[in-house]
Structure formats: structure tokens, C-alpha cells
Structure 1
Amino acid sequence: MVNRLRSDDWYEGADRNAYIHRAWMRRGNPDDALDGSRPQIAIANTASDLTPCNAHLDEVAESVKAGIWAAGGVPYNLPVVSLGETQVKPTAMLWRNMAAMAMEEMFRANPIDGVVLLGGCDKTIPALLMAASSVDIPAIVVPGGPMITGHFRGEALGCGTDVWRLSEEVRAGTLSNEQFLRSESSMIRSKGHCNTMGTASTMAVVAEALGMTIPGFAGTPAPDARLLSMSHDTGRLIVEMIRSDRKPSDIMTKDAFLNAIVAVAAVGGSTNSVVHLLAIAGRLGIDLTLDDFDAAGAGVPVMANLQPSGRFLMDDLYRAGGVLGLLAQIKDMLKPAPITVTGVPLVEYLDDRPVYDDTVILPRDAPLMEDAGITVLRGNLAPRGALIKPAAATPELLQHTGPAVVFDSIEDMRDRIDDPALDVTADSVLVLRGCGPRGYPGMPEVGNMPIPKRLLEQGVRDMVRISDARMSGTAYGTVILHAAPEAAAGGPLAFVRTGDIITIDVESRTLNMAVSDEELQSRSQSPISEAAYAAPVRGWEKLYVDHVMQADTGADLDFLVGGSGSKVSRESH
């Protein structure tokens, strides 16, 4: 048990500095609020009207506050950087590291003994976990939860996934633009984040599999009253965690990360989880690599029949038994030792967990796919690895050979993709470069390039696509992503030419082009590509481009890897 609190460094004593710290924080709180008997707890709140998926977190914070008071702590709302995936340009990923850095500094600088992490939209939970890992004071996640399902023409709509699907039908001429726009008012039915197994839902699952939520919390729909009840319980639990000095480094061990990889595979989760898990592990000093994703995810069946891989949506998963009900089906594949925020191992919460609808959480002997964890491909096109999500791909394209059609930038792709003169067939391999962490910058979600309109009109709905970009977790298709090194860092993607023959073989985990090493070394980069690479001269964007690492290590900044602990470097007042 911890006797002395970290906040005592601010509030303990009779000198002028302690006086100032206490006097300015009284504000009507009880006399014992700052006497060293009550833990001081920040609620790191990513609520923002410009992050619509997190807009309800102020309400959630009030339930957390009530729980903290009830357990004897003192809560403080701490607004932190909020990133709205659907709103900020060019991509929220450009600011994930900035948000994590700002959060880390605020957690360290303030008189707090622990922190409750309120997130939901894609980058908010990763940034919060990165920051908490670097400071390593007791911390716990409250996932904001998915929205409930909207409907259009009597059919359920999957956020994001059906945007991609319906917009392609418009381009194919099978859906009118008027009908497409009518679906807009039905897409977002309630508060909460995307209701598919996109990045937001995946990162909530990751937080639970890592042990950083109250078990059973992930996937609770945002409008569900039980989300507020569990938020209250979280407020109570963080007080106990501080008393027991249970920190992120105690919970998020290497085995916990391996469990998270298994969980992502089992739910058919987003490829974005890879860069986030790598970055979080890096903050903790854990040696997690792409090889761990390949090894831990191998043989894991997809148990969740959820869009974009399957049929149902997140509120269906919750009624069917939730994340714990699903993980119970693959308990034997999880490491038994890692604990949760409660101090109890995750696997102990999986005993006798029922499944109420086996069309949503599929039986172990009849999964959506037998072996569809995120797969790492390597070869002369991506020597440090590239990713594919087989569960979202067309099975017939998982082994494919075809000629490259190369686009030198996002703008180049958008200008030419529907050009009737574009020399492209269904067998072509679309290649997009200049979209990695450094190149764009921020690694935008453009890897799921649109199918050329001419091919859509012929009935083509999927093609092999390769890039150094990311893809929305709500998207689907035979899309190879995160090719490392990226083109802007001199990776082989920079030297591919239209017409080069590319072979993808997911079973053998290879990605190659039929170009010799000698020929590759003799080639120069496309002037169009080089001209499109980011070249910022000031601000965060310049800091990012100068210091961002490659996707295969998590795309964190090189000087942020590892933690700095909770001690404030200098004392002054």
C-alpha cells in the first residue's frame, strides 16, 4: 500500500509554495481534500464538439467524478487534445504524437496521483495510452462506446463501411446521388463512435485486452445507461489502484500485448491497431515487433461477424455477449498471466461467459475465417514489412500477379483514377506512394483507393491495392498497407514503375515485384513523387517530418520512445 501520495509534493507542508498550491485549489472543496488523505485524480477528457464521436464524454466525466468522490478521491476535469477522425485535415494521425506528448507533459506537470483516460474516436485512446505509459502513474481507460445502429431503406448502416460501399455504387451507376445523400441523415443515429469494427471499436477492444479497462467495458454502446454506471465504477477503481500503486507498466506487459494482438485478430480488427500497439509498447520499453503480430495472430479465427469483414454491428456484439463473451471462445489462445486494472488476470473473467447469439459471435468450430489475423508481408517491395487484413479481402485475390499502375501522389491518383485513357484492367495492381508517415505527412487513410470507374461499371468491386498509406478500419478490400520503408524514406515503393509485375501471396507472406536488385538500384525516383513529398518549414509539421519513425515501429517520434516517469524535472514558484 502507498502511504505518501505524489500530490503531497505540491500540497504537503506549511511553506509559501504549499500554501499557494492549496489555496488556489480549494474552490469549495472539503477541508480534507488537500490534506494528503485523498488521492488527486485527473480525468483526461477528450470531449470536443469538433470530435463528434467524443462529444458526450463531458457527461461520462460526471459519472467518473461521482465514483472518485464516493471512493474518497478528489476528481479534476482535465481537457486534453482531441482529434476528430472525420474532421481534421490532412489526417488525425499527423497529431496523434502531438496529442500524446501534450498529455504526457500535463500528466507529469500537475499534482495528480492517477488519471482516468476518456477516449473514443480513433486516435484518442492510443494517444492517451501512449501518454499514460510514458508517465506511468496509475491509469485506467473509459472507452466512450459505439453509436447504435442507423437504418436506410430498411437496412442497417455501418458507419464508414457503408459510406465506402454506397459511394462506389454511385460511381458505378447503380445508386443515384440523390439516394446516396438521403442516407446521410440515417448514418449517425446517436452519440458515440463508429458502430463497425473500425479503428475506434478496435482500440476499445485493445484497451480491454491490454487490461486497461474494467473487464466487460469495451463495446458498451454510448447511449446505454450501463456505460455511465461502469464509468462510476471506474472512478471508484482508480482510487483503489492508487492505493495499491498499480501502474500501466504492471498491467501492459509483453504478454498483455500478445493478448491484444490475438483479440484484434479474433474481432477482425483494424490494421491501424498495429501502429498504435507498436507506439504504446515503445513508450513502455517493450520490444514489440511486426514479427510478434505475425506469430501471435497466426491461426486465430475471426469470431466476430461484424462489418467490415462480416454482417453485424457493435450493438449486436454487445447484446450477443460482448468482448468478454467473444474472448471466452478463444481463451486457450490467451496468455494467462497478464492482469487487468482490477489486479485480477484477464482470463479469470472469461470463465462461463455466455454467448447469446451465435450468428454474431460465431462458434469456435465455425468462425468467419479460420486464420485471418492481420498478416505481415515482406519482399523486395516492402523489406521491413507491409500489412494486409485478409478478413476484409477478396479470397481469390490473396494470391495474385498483375502489372502495376502507379500513382505518384494522392492528387495524382484522384486526377487519373477515372480517366478513360488509364491503362488498367481488373488484374492490375494499383500502387500509391508518397503517403507514408513522412511523405504526406501523417500517413493518411487513402490506401483503399477507389476502383476505376470504368471497371466499376463492368462489375469489378475489388482489386489489389498497395501503398505506404493507412486504411480506415471501417474500409474493406484487398488492400496492402504501411509498406516500409515508405517512398519518402527511399523505400522500394519509390522506384516501382507502371507495368512492373507484382506478386502478392498472403499464404507465403510475400510481396515482390519482378525487378532485379540491380535494376532497382539503377532507378531514380519520379520527379512528380519527390515534388509531392511534404517539406514543411515550421511548427509541429516540421517537427513531425524531421523525427517521425517508420510504420513498422509505430510511427512515433524518435525522441518520444520510452518513458520519462512521473517526476517533475525542476521545482519552481
Structure 2
Amino acid sequence: MPEQPGPPESGYPQRSSQWYGGTDRNSYIHRAWMRRGLPAHAFDGRPHIAIANTASDLTPCNAHFNEVAESVKQGVYEAGGIPLNLPVVSLGETLVRPTAMLWRNMAAMAAEEMFRANPIDGLVLLGGCDKTIPALLMAAGSVDLPAVVVPGGPMLTGTFRGVALGCGTDVWRLSEEVRAGTLSQEQFIRSESSMIRSRGHCNTMGTASTMGLVAEALGMVLPGLAGTPAADSRLLESAHASGRLAVEMVAEGRTPSAVLSRGSFLNAIVALAAIGGSTNAVVHLLAIAGRVGIELSQDDFDRTGSEIPLLVDLQPAGRFLMEDFFRAGGLHAVLREVRDLLDPTALTVTGKPLVDYLDTADIWDREVIRTRAEPLLPHAGIAVLYGNLAPDGAVVKPAAASEHLLQHRGRAVVFDSVEDMHARIDDPDLDVDADSVLVLRGCGPKGYPGMPEVANMPLPQKLLQAGVRDMVRICDGRMSGTAYGTVVLHVSPEAAAGGPLALVRTGDHIVLDIAGRRLDLDVPPEELLLRQPDPATVAAYAAPQRGWEKLYVQTVGQANTGADLDFLVGSSGAEVSRESH
């Protein structure tokens, strides 16, 4: 182990001394068991920094985090701290069934308990794939220990037949072309090896990219780090700096509650709109705010973000990819364009305001990042819809929708479950046309369970073959941040929680008015009062008998509040209720 400077001066009480300080039997045991590599001076008051590491071979987007953790360790050592690798629950978006969202709250709860239970003074949070950064921020907010996020970064751009591929977005596009008969199955499979070119998460402005950037806009990332490609050596440089910063944060007592404010979350909403970020950020930011006691509602996304111009021309709303975004100037170049809309007092993990880091930010490619004067779209962000079909709201991303469908009235074609949808969507006899509204229910937090990314339903094959490429789709589930289309999602209350989505029948007319923020079922109120959910609808709802799924279904909240478990909302602090004996 390299020679170390003395412990940094700290006015902040260090939790680890409760385990290691003293001469009694418990202190002896704690030190002795940790002496498998740690020298005596590791227990002389140096801060112990846990590296919450979501590395896993089964989370391919995070598989490089062991290397990143080594750079964090070097930074912690250099600053006089003791780094400790702490593997935590890792959720890979593409592999786990039925949906990674089912375990976001479990990952957050498990991480929180491990942070509290162990002799830890501060945290470096390594997250990349969609649910890992939200879960780690929820945990860190609940335990309120000094914490800094290191986003793992997007993959490099792969190409197929000379064309750049957007991970996720082009999966949806190419698979639809196969179903439409314009791309062979053989060519589709050949593109598979080109899609994932390097380490890192999706290279579109999907949920993983969005949450890394939004975490920085919140103030929880070393300024300038988010969006750095996973294969870029500057990621390791910033990971090293984040390790040093974690030691400083412990010394100064800079916890999430000291960094995060309502202004931080409003800044994140501004950033979300300007970058054209994923709708999944809504449920994640609401859940994080709930853990730190910040008042934030679904309506704040509309009030604060709906008039923000879209400045980033990235898939799925645009053309380019995250590697282009990084070279064009990244998040700070975007935020400088909307600086007047940011809260100037909102802090970052460095203790300085976010806006202090924007003075020298430049746009290096005005095709990728637009100026405020020449936006990709004048109004972006998330629109929140209300009406008799969504009493507690639903969300839609206008930037990813088709202009001709922003106001629409169409006949409902209803599916009672994901399985029902897959079984019938390509049936040549399905009574559907381009003006129909596809409705998928039973996909909310309780109904599935876990609120899967299924709202961007595939279009009926016969319509694809006729040239149709978008339809209005409505669902109480989520959609991938890499997806696109006129998709109304997060309908609350969900069908399984008694929401009116359960009462829709095929043939009913649905009216969508995004400008008017309305989503209505054109059925007389007196008729709706007489309706009961179809038995097939109820039969498709989840009914787990044991384990996490049962606990989840019994206690999960609705999408409009962040879909957290009701007993986890709020911060519990870092104190351990009982000492070890």
C-alpha cells in the first residue's frame, strides 16, 4: 500500500470511528477482521469511502466498473481516505425478467441498508444502466451520507452498412422494418454485432444517458463528467478526481441533503427538456425527491420543462448519438444556452453552484447542439395530460411524437396484457386502421408488476406493410428512453389500481389533445359509472404469493408519485438502531 498523508482534518463526525475507535473487544474485532490488507493507520481517523459498485457480467453496460473503481480507489488513497469496494445490487435492463423496474426499489433499499449497516463515512456511486443511478441516488438520499455519482458513460458508435447505429432506437426501427418486409431477417441478425461497439450503456438519449446527465444537473456528479464515453480515458481521470472529492465531502460534511434543493430538481427538469431526455426520468426524479424530502410533483415537469427548447439533435428525437454530443460540448454547452432558466443557488457536490461551471462552455458542433436562437424544437420537455382517462395524470414526450397525431380522435383497440397484445397485434383480422388508438393495460406498477417498458407497442404488421410508422398508443406502463412515437404512458391510476383505463372497451373513442393537456374517453359519465372491468382484464393482473413481488404489489405507489414503496419514502439517516455484539 502506498505511503499516505495524515488523515484530512474534519469537522464532520466520522461514523467509522464508532466501529474502529477504542480498545474494547468489539473495536478489536472490527479492526482485526479488516487487517487483511489494511495497515494500522487505516484506523487513525481517515474517512472510509465505500465504492458502491454495480459491476456485473449480467449487467453488460456496467461490466467495466471494476476498472473505474480502481481509479476511484487511487483518488481516495491520494486524498488520505480508505477506499472499500462494496458490490451492490446490479440491474441490467436487457436481461432481467420481467422488468428491471420491478427491482429498482429493492436495489435502493438493499443499498441503503448496507450503507447504514457498515462503517462507511462517504460514498462513490458507480451507476450506468438505467436503474442503477436512480437506485443509488435513492439510497444515498435516504441514508444521507456524503456521496458523489460516477456515471459509467455511453458506448462508442457502431455502424452497419456504413450507417451509425443508435443502440435501442435502431433495434426498434430495424425490427419494425423486418416486420414490414423491407429488411431481411438475415440482414437484421448481421446488424447485431455492429450495435454494441464498446463498453458502456446505450449511445442514444435513452434512460441511461439521461440519468447520468440529469444526475449532474442535480448537482450529484463531478461537473463536466456526465456523458463522457465509457471507453474514453477521461472517464478514469474523472473517476480518480471523484475519489478525491469524496474524501473532501466527508471532511466538510457535504451530504445529499446539503446539495439537493428544490432548485436542483427544477434544474434537472430544465436539463431533461433541453437534451430531449427519457420519460423514465419523471418516475426516477420523483422517487429521488421523495427520499430527500423535496417537494416535487409530476406537474413540475410540465410547468418548468414544457416551454424549454430542444437543443440536442440526438436519437430517438433526432439524428446524432452520445459520442457526437460529447465532442460537441456536452451538457455544460447545453445548460449555458438556458442558463437564465436555471436556479443560480443550486449547488453541486463540489460545494459550488452548478451555474459557476458554465462560463467557458462552448458549442463545438451546432448541428448536434443547437443554440437557443435555433433550436431543434421551440418547445420540448414532458407534457402531463389529465382527463377522465387519466385522473392523476399521464405523460407524453412531444419531441418523440408525430406532429399529425398531437391532436387526435380515434377508435380504441384494447389489449388486456402484454401477452394479449403479442398474440393479436399481427392478426390479419384485427379490426384496426391507422387512425385507431392502441390501448395496453395491466402494465402499471401493481398490474404487471413493475411497470415494464411496453408502452411503445409494435404497430400491426398489416399497417406497417401499408407504410404506417406511428399511431397513438396509450398504456399504464413505461417505454424505453430509446423509443419514439406518439406514446401516452404512465397513465395514473393504473388499471390494476382501479383506474378508468380498466373500463375502456374496443370501439370506444379516445381524444388526445397534447396542446390542451387532455386525455379523454369519449363515453358518457353515466355509462362509465355502470361499467365494470372485464374479467379477462382482472385475470391478467399480477397476483404474487410470496417474496419481493408480493411486498412490491402491496406497497408500491403510482407512477405520478415515483412508484416508490410507501414505507421507503423519506430519509432515515445514517444512524444504526442497535450496536453489534
**TM bucket, shorter chain:** over 0.9
Match of 2:176 among 168, 190, 198: 168
Deviation per CA, 1:191-234: give whole Å up to 9, x if none: 00000000000000111000000001110000000000000000
1:391 alignment partner, one of 396, 399, 406? 399
The SS at the match of 1:107 is helix
Give 1:456-475 correspondences, 5 Å limit: 456-475=464-483
Distance in 2 separating the partners of 1:505 and 1:429: 13
2:319 partner amino acid:
R
**Alpha-carbon distance, 1:298 to partner:** 2.4
After TM superposition, list the pairs within 5 Å mapping 1:316-331 onto structure 2.
316-331=324-339
**Equivalent residue letter for 1:286:** I
Aligned to 2:19: 10
Matches within 5 A, 1:103-252: 103-252=111-260
What does residue 284 of structure 2 align with? 276
Are residues 1:20 and 2:29 paired? yes
How far the C-alpha of 1:2 sits from its partner, in A, is: 1.7
SS for the counterpart of 2:473 is strand
Q: How far apart are 1:471 and its partner, in Å?
A: 0.1
In the other structure, the counterpart of 1:535 is 543
Displacement after TM superposition at 1:134 (Å): 0.2
Q: Return the alpha-carbon distance in structure 1 between the equivalents of residues 525 and 60 of structure 2.
A: 48
Q: Which amino acid aligns with 1:530?
A: V
* Distance in structure 2 (CA, Å) of the matches to 1:60 and 1:252: 25
Q: Secondary structure at the match of 1:130?
A: helix
Q: Deviations over 1:69-108 (max 9, x none)?
A: 0000000000000000000000000000000000000000
Q: Could you list the per-position Cα deviations for residues 12-55 of structure 1 after superposition, in whole angstroms to 9, with x for gaps in the alignment?
A: 1111111111111122323211121x100100000000000000
CA distance in 2, matches of 1:187, 1:299: 34
User: What residue is the counterpart of 1:405 in the other structure?
Assistant: 413
Work out which of the residue numbers 303, 315, 340 in structure 2 matches 1:307.
315
Structure 2 unaligned residues grouped into runs of 5+: 1-9
Matched, 1:29 2:46: no
In the alignment, structure 1 residue 371 sits paired with structure 2 residue 379: yes
Which of 563, 568, 571 aligns to 2:576? It is: 568
Instruction: Give the corresponding residue for 1:481.
Output: 489
**CA deviation string 1:283-317 (max 9, x = no partner):** 01112101111111021011100000000000100
Deviation readout 1:481-515 (Å, 9 max, x if unpaired): 00000000010100001111111111111000111
Q: What is the letter of the counterpart of residue 299 of structure 1?
A: E
Q: Take 1:439 and 1:241, find their aligned partners in 2: how far apart are those partners?
A: 42
Matched with 1:336 is 344
3-state SS, counterpart of residue 101 of structure 1: helix
Partner amino acid for 1:302? L
AA aligned opposite 2:22: G
Q: Distance in 1 between matches of 2:505 and 2:128?
A: 40
Q: Which residue of structure 2 lines up, in the alignment, with residue 428 of structure 1? A: 436
Q: Which residue of 2 aligns with 1:414?
A: 422
CA distance in 2, matches of 1:82, 1:286: 26
AA at the equivalent of 2:47: P
Q: d(CA) in 1 for partners of 2:104 and 2:173?
A: 28
Which residue in the other structure is 2:557 paired with?
549
Q: In structure 2, what is the Cα distance between the partners aligned to 1:541 and 1:502?
A: 33
Compute the displacement of 1:372 (Å). 1.2
Indicate conservation of the 8 Å contact 2:276/2:317, yes or no. yes
The match for 2:522 is 514
Alpha-carbon shift at residue 519 of structure 1 (Å): 1.1
What is the letter of the counterpart of residue 10 of structure 1? W
SS in 2 for 1:466: strand
CA distance in 1, matches of 2:13, 2:549: 41
What's the CA shift for 1:3?
Answer: 4.9
Tell me: CA distance 1:440–1:3, structure 2 relative to 1, closer, same or farther (3 Å).
Answer: closer
SS of match in other structure, 1:524: coil
Do the aligned residues in 1 keep the contact of 2:54 with 2:90 (CA within 8 Å)?
yes
1:141 alignment partner, SS class: strand
Q: What do residues 520-565 of structure 1 show as CA deviations (whole Å, max 9, x unaligned)?
A: 1110101111111000000000000011000000000000000110
Q: Could you tell me which residue of structure 2 aligns to residue 454 of structure 1?
A: 462
SS of the aligned residue for 2:49 comes to strand
Alpha-carbon distance between aligned partners in 1 of 2:37 and 2:392, rounded to the nearest angstrom:
57
2:409 partner SS: strand
Is residue 310–residue 376 contact of structure 2 (8 Å, CA) maintained in 1?
A: yes
Q: 2:507 aligns to what?
A: 499
Q: Is the alpha carbon distance of 1:557 and 1:3 closer, same or farther for their aligned partners in structure 2, counting shifts above 3 Å?
A: closer
- For the residues of structure 2 that align with 1:221 and 1:42, how far apart are their CA atoms? 24
> What is the CA RMSD across the aligned residues, in angstroms?
0.7
Q: Distance in 1 between matches of 2:409 and 2:540?
A: 29
Aligned-partner residue type, residue 561 of structure 1: V
2:7 maps to which residue? none
- Quick one: structure 1 residues 418 and 3, their matched pair in 2 at CA, closer, same or farther if it must change by over 3 Å? closer
Aligned partner of residue 422 in structure 1, secondary structure:
coil
**Hey, what's the Cα distance between the residues in 2 that align with 1:512 and 1:356?**
44
Report the Cα distance in structure 1 between the residues aligned to 2:229 and 2:297, rounded to whole angstroms. Answer: 32
- Structure 1 partner of 2:4: none
Does the alignment pair 1:380 with 2:388?
Answer: yes
Cα displacement string for residues 329-353 of structure 1 (whole angstroms, at most 9, x for unaligned residues) = 1111111111100000001101131
Write the distance in 2 (CA, Å) between the matches of 1:199 and 1:278. Answer: 15
Report deviation, 1:326: 1.2
Q: Assess if the C-alpha contact under 8 Å between 2:513 and 2:519 holds in 1.
A: yes
* 1:461 counterpart SS class: coil
SS of equivalent residue, structure 1 residue 77: strand
Deviation of 1:6 (Å): 1.2
Secondary structure at 1:421's aligned position in 2?
coil
In the alignment, the residues of structure 2 paired with residue 156 and residue 312 of structure 1 have an alpha-carbon distance, to the nearest angstrom, of: 9
Residue aligning to 1:73: 81
Q: Secondary structure at the match of 2:391?
A: strand
Work out the CA distance in 2 between the residues paired with 1:384 and 1:2: 46
| Paired residue type of 2:336 | A
- Identify the residue that residue 264 of structure 1 maps to in structure 2: 272
Amino acid paired to 1:417: I
Q: Find the aligned partners of 1:28 and 1:136 in 2 and give their Cα distance.
A: 29
Q: Percent identity?
A: 71
1:421-445 Cα shifts (integer Å, max 9, x gaps):
1111100000000000000000000
Look up the equivalent residue of 2:31 and give its one-letter code.
R
Q: Judge conservation of contact 2:388–2:520 (CA < 8 Å) in 1.
A: yes
Counterparts of 2:523 and 2:353, CA distance in 1: 50
Alignment partners' CA distance in 2, 1:205 and 1:332? 19
The count of aligned residue pairs is: 572
Structure-2 separation of matches of 1:360 and 1:332: 21
Q: Which residue of 2 aligns with 1:86?
A: 94
Q: TM-score, normalised by structure 2?
A: 0.98
Corresponding position of 2:6: none
- C-alpha separation between the residues in 2 aligned to 1:541 and 1:84? 18
